[in-house]
Amino acid sequence: MRKVSIWIILAIVLSGVCVLGFGYKQNTLPNNYYQVYLNDELLGTIESKKELEDYIDKNGEYYKKKYDVDRVYAPNGLQIKEVTTYSGDVTSVKKIYNKIKKEEPLTIDGYLMTIKHQDDEDDKIKSTKIYVLDTDVFKKAVNTLIDTFVGKDAYELYLNDEQVEIETTGENIEDVYVDEDITVKEVKIPVDEKIYTDAEDLSKYLLYGENSKESIYTVKAGDTIESVAFANKVNPEELLLSNDTLTSTTNLLFPGQQLKIAETNPQISIVEESYVVSDIESAYNTEERYDDTVLIGDDRVIQEGENGLDRVSQRVREINGEIVYVDPQGKEVLKEPVNRVVLKGSKYVPDVGSLTNWGWPTDSGWTLSSGYSYRSNPFGGGRELHTGLDISGTGYGSNVYATNNGRVVTATYHYSYGNYVVINHNNGYLTLYAHMSRIAVKVGDVVERGQVIGYVGMTGSATGPHVHYEVWDGCEYCDVNPSVLYPNGYR
């Protein structure tokens, strides 16, 4: 009886082995599957990597048509890793795709253009990113800006080496380039990014920036390009850029004419370096001869003045159409000026300036590099009213003259306008002379028109050697430091 039980038990055990061991086939061979991760988070496991990629491409037809591309790809943060597992659990590609599109945008082939530029406010390198499908779009947009700031015809002559040699006067371009460092990288572009496919759209962004503001101005009787620009806080050149019908600041306007007002905010710096030869009138000086037999105030002109003419050679650097540096190369006097001679009573030098005879603060051969108008601040951007005249071209260290008799009320240094002098002419007007390399007078000095008060420099906030010159109307600030009037300084 005991032997029979042993055989029965053995038979039961063997039958269990057959059922449990040989009958279960799930883990006999491993499977090669693919685990899908998005930003390092596991979304699931799929049987075929290609099937998922094709499914993504198939569901991206909208973007294929929108951007005229052949294929759409997974997000940049997607990873598909091949794994070997005995598990048979897999997720459908449709379910994986639905998870992906909720989290991250799909991508297409394109290029990332990175523009690196220095921020003058914090002295750090900052980057602007631009996505394009074709690098030619970016090249064409940059060329449009060059045509805008340099001039299409002049630029083509320069590129083709067809500029006419200067025999008397004229201007030849020596170099044109983009000042920023621009890199190009082939990337997968997320479809939710701003992608430029049209060169004209990109050129507008490069000229006006992302948050450009536009308005329409209706011309009134008596308006000029300069007055419209000033009233709308743009400079005349910006007004010309925004309106194709305007070709020169001398264009006449008519009442009812519609003009577009837009502030430029260039994203790149188009640098033009030119050699310029021009004939510039040299203003005559007014010579005052004192006669102690004549009463003070009884002035008489005994010789009329006549302007001279200088042939001036300069190397000029412009950034986005604005003169930033003038380097004098030579000056030929074609005609000497004839002084205007005024006979004045009394030989002493009064500290009261004339209301009718004003001089010029620099030597002849000067260039007006910036006028009294609104512009983009060359140090860190932003709109500002340039409150005077920037006079360049006479060379570093050349003389700066008092433009009228008066008394020096300020002669010091300021971080923005550098070495500067303020003269009270005691006739209701004051004048300011900024960015000088060195000051030649002190507070309390009585100066006369044409007296050297300092020397041209580029101290303070200046892109090149020049004199920033202002005339103040009104004497309520005669004894006030100009820092109170203009706490942000001069440019």
pLDDT (average), residues 228-253: 91
* 351 and 225 part of one domain: no
Residue 250 has pLDDT above 50, yes or no: yes
* 469 and 355 part of one domain: yes
pLDDT at 487: 42
pLDDT (average), residues 105-122: 88
pLDDT at 476: 53
* 301 and 433 part of one domain: yes
Q: Tokens standing for 66?
A: 């929108």
How far is residue 195's CA from residue 110's CA, in Å, rounded to a whole number? 9
Question: Burial of 82 by CB count in 10 Å (0-12 exposed, 13-18 middle, 19+ buried)?
Answer: exposed
Please state the separation of Cα 344 from the chain's center in Å.
51
Considering the chain, what is the average pLDDT of its residues?
88
89 pLDDT tier (thresholds 50, 70, 90): confident
- Residue 280 forms part of a structural domain: yes
Residue 14 has pLDDT above 60, yes or no: no
- Residue 295 forms part of a structural domain: yes
Collapse the DSSP code of 435 into the 3-class scheme (helix H, G, I; strand E, B; otherwise coil) and give the result.
strand
Spatial contact of 302 and 342, defined as CB atoms under 8 Å apart? yes
Strand-by-strand arrangement of the 466-473 sheet = 367-370, 389-392, 466-473, 429-436, 418-424, 406-414, 446-447
H or E stretch including 141? Answer: helix 135-150
Residue 23 has pLDDT above 60, yes or no: no
272 pLDDT tier (thresholds 50, 70, 90): very high
By residue range, what is the domain housing residue 83?
29-104
Give the model confidence (pLDDT) of 73-87 as tens digits.
999 999 999 999 887
* 73 and 131 part of one domain: no
How far is residue 19's CA from residue 267's CA, in Å, rounded to a whole number? 76
17 pLDDT tier (thresholds 50, 70, 90): very low
The residues, any chain, with a CB within 8 Å of residue 131's CB and separated by 6 or more, are: 110, 111, 112, 113, 187, 189, 193, 194, 195, 196
pLDDT at 1: 43
- Residue 18 forms part of a structural domain: no
Residue 333 has pLDDT above 60, yes or no: yes
Say what the pTM is: 0.78
- Residue 119 forms part of a structural domain: yes
pLDDT at 488: 43
- Residue 254 forms part of a structural domain: yes
* 444 and 366 part of one domain: yes
Collapse the DSSP code of 12 into the 3-class scheme (helix H, G, I; strand E, B; otherwise coil) and give the result.
helix
* 276 and 238 part of one domain: no
- Residue 22 forms part of a structural domain: no
* 324 and 252 part of one domain: no
Q: How many structural domains comprise the chain?
A: 3
Helix, strand, coil shares of the chain as percentages rounded to 5? Answer: 20, 40, 40
383 vs 243 pLDDT, higher one: 243
- Residue 210 forms part of a structural domain: yes
* 151 and 194 part of one domain: yes
Tell me which of 205, 240, 262 is where a domain ends. 262
* 362 and 448 part of one domain: yes
Ramachandran region, residue 238 (left: φ > 0; alpha: ψ -120 to 50; beta: rest): alpha
pLDDT at 440: 97
Tell me which of 233, 262, 291 is where a domain ends. 262
pLDDT at 489: 42
Residue 27 has pLDDT above 70, yes or no: no
Residue 13 has pLDDT above 50, yes or no: no
Spatial contact of 191 and 108, defined as CB atoms under 8 Å apart? yes
* 94 and 221 part of one domain: no
Residue 158 has pLDDT above 50, yes or no: yes
pLDDT at 311: 97
* 278 and 220 part of one domain: no
